[in-house]
A and B are shown apart, each in its own frame.
Chain A
Amino acid sequence: MDRAIFLNAFLFSPLAAALLILLFCPKGNPVFARTAALLSGIFGFVLSIYIFTHYDPGGSQFQFQANANWLPALGIGYHIGIDGISAVMVLLTGILNLAAILTSFAIKDRVKEYFIFLLLVEAGVAGCFVTLDLFFFIVFYELASIPMYFLIGMWGSDGQQASRKWVTKKEFSALKLILYLQLGGAFILVSFFVLYFFSVKAGLPHRTFDFVELLHAHFSRIPELPKILFPVLFIAFGIEAGLVPFHTWLPDGHSAAPTAVSMLLAGVLLKMGAYGIIRFACELLPSGAKLWLPLFAVIAVINILYGAYCALKQYDIKYIIAYSSVSHMGIVFLGLATQNIMGWTGALFQMFSHGIITALLFMIAGTIYEKTHTRNILKLGGLAAKMPFLAVTFVLGGLASLGLPGMSGFVAEFLTFMGTFGFERILMILGLLGLILTALYILLAVRKIFFGADNPSLNPEDAHAWWEKIPAAALIACTLLFGIVPGVITSISQNSLISVIHLMKGIG
């Protein structure tokens, strides 16, 4: 119980900072807001490392637990705790929250409001990963998604998708994003209510939203329930994770968002969807998962190839990265669909790795936009000589993204495809073809942005203060670290993943 203080602190430090800024930050004084946010970011980062390293993979199923009654009459409690899966996500959140805050220092306009919204998103995301209560999950989910609307609508930028004739306004993108996320949220809410109301019928003594108690329920006793509810939950979470064909909010939303918000959107918000699929859809409805996952495996491969093909056509850097997210989230779906330990470890690894890599790429795209005032790769070119630091980081991020050994993306893809072979070999072969496409669109983008003759119309300077280089360098260090020593993550997550797989296989 005493260790729970760390998890509580991790969850509440962004909220506390947001509150501080709201109450005490004088208008027009960005320093206060930045300092408060930065301190909470550093604090959360240190805590996430502490929590990750002190999680005992051989210990009890949920650790760092805190459980307090909140509305006992309705079976709602403030219950938090982490297992090996959420431990990895906590680490990711800790890293990316800090990186996003550092990147946000470039915001010059209405700094106070900006940081309040940003910190609320961060708190919501952290909450989603640590909560063990379904009701509170919904609360945190809304907390993470609603401020996005304001962040994009107010601080975002317009973008243009390749095959569209019109410019997509940021307000439009924000609306689209929030509608989609709310749509997913509504389905999640309905599904959670169904679980709540059926929990007694499934063998629990009373109705509850508590996840740990629901784990002991046997929803398969109600024959139709897992069959109907699993796909609903999968799609609801899938909307958030960029499942084709419900992904169209993703490219617009990511591209319109300010840099730090793109990083959080692609880095952790997409992972919330995938995490929800593991935690709630698969773990609570294992019999539904077993039935439905093969179909979703097909959609996953479509995700991989379709996302890659769309990315190949784009010319806005942010759209390229956004569609590459669609493609890479397909690998997560595919890994989950395999229902074996290799695929699941691969999927979790991909969630972590893609979070880091895509945040890095969005960060660099943001800097390019800031310095050159365009994101159109047809107008860019020859930037490598003028912006060597950005060129190196973007190339490294791109290489990580296309799965170069030695970087985290390779481990994730390799494990996923290893697992996929044990599940369905045709899907593995089709999915692997995506690797060629990924290499193609990433290297083409690198060439068009950084290589080639000097473009005299662009006059950026690569003036980076040393602290401006830290976030990019740190994220690269992360992909290298976990690419070279992947055992750090796999050993933490292994037992928790195995227990979910056992549930699906109907063992123990």
Chain B
Amino acid sequence: MDWIKFAYLIPLLPLAAFLLIVFGFRFFKGSRISSYVSILFNTASFVLSCFVFLKILNLEHTDSYSGPIQFSLSWIHLHSVSGIIPLHLQIGILLDPLSAIMALMVTFVSTLIMIYSIGYMEGDPGFSTFFSYMSLFVMAMLTLTLSNNFLLTFAGWELVGLCSYLLIGFWYKKPSAAKAAIKAFVVTRTGDVGFLIGMIILYWKTGTFNFIQISHLNLPALLSGWLLWGIPLLIFCGAVGKSAQFPLHVWLPDAMEGPTPVSALIHAATMVAAGVYLVARTYFLFVISPTALLVVAWIGVFTAFMAATMALVQWDIKRVLAYSTISQLGYMMLGLGVGPIGFVFAIFLLLTHAFFKALLFLGAGSVSHPFHEEENPFDMHHYGGLKKKMPHTYWTFLFATLAITGCPLFAGFFSKDAVIDSAFQSRILTHNLLWGLALFTAFLTSAYMFRMFFLTFHGTKEPEHQVHESPWVMILPLMILAVFSLIGGWFGFSWYRLHLPWHDWIERFMNPYVQLYHIPVSHTIDWMGMGLGTFVFLAGFFTAWVLYSKGLRFASALENPIIKPFHQLFVQKWYMDEFWGLILSLFGFGLSSIASWIDTNLFDGTVRGIGMGTGGIGLKIRSIQTGFVQQYAFIIYLAVLILIIFVVSGGYLWTARFF
């Protein structure tokens, strides 16, 4: 039975939920029905993703595996005219290990987060709207994930951006939320323009948008000169925007203005990882250009480092997590950038990161719940000593922290350290530097995560508020995610020999890519890598423990003349907001003022002047000859127009040389 054809329902089911809620809004208002609709359809989508995943897993184990499955519909067809390539645009889905595992992760995490949201959004006047947006988002994300061509991916890409905009600005009455929403949309769109340019050039060179078709072409022969590295880097621009990489990372911390489940789903687990997914999806463009790979690796590692430094000094728990997300996304980019050797690890980190980062955000939401009357419920100044009051939140949060910092046996230990290690083993230029910076950043990660952890849960501070544990509907998703933060890594690589029966799932599952990109799979145990990873984890942990576990003991160190400028730099976010603010006021509002001035004074002023002059002359002439002022104005306009045409056509001879 060819039921796999029904895979197109995976994105359509959440869309159906969205439409149901929107058109049944009147009836759902003020009840929980809309959340049940969302969760029901999402679960169906998840079940379907499971089937697809298992089907592909089984297919790969048989000899009948004949490459990715895809089916398409024609969307726009324009014939070839006078030597120009025809335009044949399709919409279709592609089922291969990468998309299947991504769809599985997206539906799984989104279902859990929706369940959590029932508790978190309880009593909010926009309850139904919230769930409709969430369903729309899942639809868009799955479209992006399962698409088999650049165009549909771009469509999903923009739609997730839209949902992000809507959900960041969900509490639109808060001016800061409304501003953050615009910032997110415009900054990511800046990157998207690069993506679009790259896409269009690629079409003109290859004649198709289909991923599989392009990957089968002899790309080095088709893309000559700068296009070889230019096209992947233009597409990477889109990924830089969406995955909040330097220098377009500035929108993500502000995006925390949205409700916390949104931060967990969109701004941690799924949408921001779409950039990484895009690079992986179009990896055939990157592997042929060492330049492009090197840029990806350096952007990645620098972002990871820079974001980690900023996370060190934040007091808003969600912002710490936001910078930590940026940092982890940087690791994923690094994994892809160091070449095929890091490809699978980057995807592995993407998947495991989704679990523990979603958990961290949901945990932060749970922590902040009793503080919701504060001006900023996420300010860690309010926290401290919450361990006893919120045991479930505490333990799940601890699991996630251990996972992200790379504690042995937890998910991050297998995925993140593998990425760092692949940087060491790769043959890419400057790989030692990349590795060193990545390793140092791992230390920072451990330090800032435990700083946050200690400040929140430990210490002797007695909370001012009546702190209580969150309801079960919120705790249950936390626990499920906590389990995956622990065992998520065990699906990893036989390379570690610490294996369970499913120890090589990821590797086997990703086998087509291993073959496609000639990924060398090492089967030796890298004791050094593991040892160093454990060492930096412990170093970070102890640093944080000494500084923060008993409250702030060394705050005066910040006045140290050596530390102070750095502290200032980190607190001011490396002045990147100021930088973009300057760009915006110069090339946005500055030019806009000039344009507006030209419009009023030059273009309109000229016409107006002529009109006034004509009016004056007309008044004098009227005594001699009666006539309408308009007619005179008319004649003079004609004269001016002819003059302009004359000038323009003279100018034409000059401009013609450029075409």
**What residues make up the interface of A, taking CB atoms closer than 8 Å to B?**
161-164, 175, 179, 182-183, 186-187, 231-232, 235, 244-245, 247-248, 292, 294-295, 298, 306, 309-310, 312-314, 340-342, 345, 382, 384-385, 399, 404-406, 410-411, 414-415, 417-418, 421-422, 424-425, 428-429, 432-433, 435-437, 439-440, 443-444, 447, 450-454, 486-487, 490-491, 494, 498, 501-502, 505, 507
Contacts and interface: CB of A to CB of B under 8 A. Distances in A.
A490 B593 CA distance: 39
B31 interface: no
A175 B172 contact: no
Contacts of B156: 405
A485 to B, nearest CB: 8
B659 A235 contact: no
17 contacts: A162-B596, A164-B600, A248-B604, A310-B592, A382-B173, A405-B154, A405-B155, A406-B155, A414-B151, A421-B201, A435-B192, A435-B193, A440-B186, A443-B181, A444-B182, A494-B78, A502-B82
A345 B84 CA distance: 14
Nearest to B74: A487
A437 B659 CA distance: 27
Closest 9 pairs (CB-CB, A-B):
A405-B155, A309-B595, A451-B178, A313-B596, A312-B592, A451-B172, A294-B659, A163-B596, A248-B604
Contact of B600 (A163, A294, A486, A490): A163
A491 B378 CA distance: 54
Nearest to A236: B641
> Interface on chain A toward B: helix, strand, loop, or mixed SS?
helix
Given A411-B76, A422-B84, A486-B75, A310 B175 contact: no
A436 B76 contact: no
A450 B169 CA distance: 11
B197 A432 contact: yes
Interface string B179-192: 10110011001101
Given A179-B630, A231-B649, A341-B79, A439 B186 contact: yes
With a 10 A CB-CB cut-off, give which of A183, A342, A487 has the most chain B CB atoms.
Answer: A342
A454 B641 CA distance: 49
Contact of B599 (A163, A342, A447, A487): A163
Nearest to B172: A451
A298 B652 CA distance: 11
Contacts of B652: 292, 295
B173 A505 contact: no
A248 B179 contact: no
A310 B592 CA distance: 6
Interface stretch (B34-42, B352-360, B560-568, B632-640): B632-640
Given A163-B596, A183-B634, A342 B84 contact: yes
B75 A487 contact: yes
A288 B154 CA distance: 38
Interface string B67-82: 0000000111111011
B162 interface: yes
Nearest to B156: A405
Given A313-B595, A406-B159, 9 more contacts: A163-B593, A179-B633, A313-B593, A342-B78, A435-B189, A436-B193, A447-B179, A486-B75, A487-B76
A312 B589 contact: yes
A310 B189 contact: no
Interface in B217-239: none
Given A182-B634, A341-B81, A417-B200, A309 B596 contact: yes
Given A494-B79, A507-B82, A313 B193 contact: no
A435 B158 CA distance: 13
A4 B514 CA distance: 64
> Interface on chain B toward A: helix, strand, loop, or mixed SS?
helix
A404 B78 contact: no
Interface in B519-570: none
Contact of A452 (B178, B189, B190): B178
A190 to B, nearest CB: 10
B376 to A, nearest CB: 17
B84 A341 contact: yes
Contacts of B172: 384, 450-452
B79 A498 contact: yes
A498 to B, nearest CB: 5
B645 A235 contact: yes
Contacts of B607: 248
Interface in B627-659: 630, 633-634, 637-638, 641, 645, 648-649, 652, 655-656, 659
B12 interface: no
A385 B173 contact: yes
Given A183-B638, A341-B87, A453-B173, A175 B82 contact: no
Contacts of A248: 599, 603-604, 607
B193 A454 contact: no
Nearest to B169: A451
Nearest to B190: A436
B440 interface: no
Contacts of A341: 78-79, 81, 84, 87
A245 B600 CA distance: 11
B172 to A, nearest CB: 4
A453 to B, nearest CB: 6
Contacts of B193: 432-433, 435-436
A452 B78 CA distance: 45
A415 B633 CA distance: 41
Contacts of A294: 655-656, 659
